[in-house]
Amino acid sequence: MNYRFSLFFVSVFLIPLLACSQEFKVGFGIVSNEEKFNNSYIQIDALAIYEGNLRNSDARLMPYVQYAHSFGSRFKGTIEAQYYKSYASIFATTPIEGFPIDSKKVISYVSRNLELPIGGSLNLFGFNLLKFNLIAGIVPVFSFSSSPHFDKIPDGIDWTQEVVDALNAVETISKKYHTNYLYGFSLEYWRLGLAFTRNHNFSSISNDYRLYGKSYSFERKTISNRITLYYTLFRNNK
């Protein structure tokens, strides 16, 4: 699946579905406990490039909206939109002559992620206004990344042109589109709801790392938890 197919799918199939949506929900989520599973260690002569912070416990706010349409008494098709920022730190390490510890330099970049989960909700059981649902879906993700750029070699005895080039090349790994999948559950009472989901990447969320005209595999994958509190603004029971 590529981003052109996703846009076509949204415009041709999903927009008419939204027009007859039976529920509209708004809320905020928290993205937390992001774990990174990487094959992103590169050795180029004496230079090593790799990603740090393989576990990020910082919580990030995620605005959220959802459209839902009922198919029978227990199943709903859902379309969502949510936005959050993610961060990555890439290190460049080189040996320093005369010192037992290598020089380590880091550059961080931010990704602004627009997620469009497409899935469903199955009501397992309910009691009066209380409902317990299982949820799952496929998540197209559009990511817009930016990172600092060094125009010259910073002051310092352990800065070199090679290190500067290695850090500037981090911008080559940014990937504009990838796909996730999610699963979890939600608990609803009247118009209020609380959802917990576990989000995985289908494949690497980065491109290859390119330096001096050569490409190096820089696979990056993440798993994260999402907790979302939402409110149903509109509900059509017809």
Measured between its terminal Cα atoms, the distance across the chain in Å is 35
Closest CA to 2 of 137, 144, 176, 145: 176
Classify domain 3-235 by CATH number: 2.40.160.20
Q: CB of 113 within 8 A of CB of 145?
A: no
pTM reported for the whole predicted model:
0.86
How does pLDDT run across 99-146, given as a tens digit for each residue?
667 889 999 989 999 999 999 999 999 888 999 999 999 999 999 999
pLDDT reported for residue 235: 83
Q: What count of other Cβ atoms lies within 10 Å of the Cβ of residue 66?
A: 23
Q: CB of 42 within 8 A of CB of 95?
A: no
Q: Which amino acid is at 126?
A: G
Q: Where are the domains of the chain?
A: 3-235
pLDDT reported for residue 22: 84
d(CA 164, CA 150): 7
How does pLDDT run across 141-199, given as a tens digit for each residue?
999 999 999 999 999 878 999 999 999 999 999 999 999 999 999 999 999 999 999 99
Mean pLDDT, residues 10-19: 50
Phi, psi (rounded to 5 degrees) for 20: -110, 25
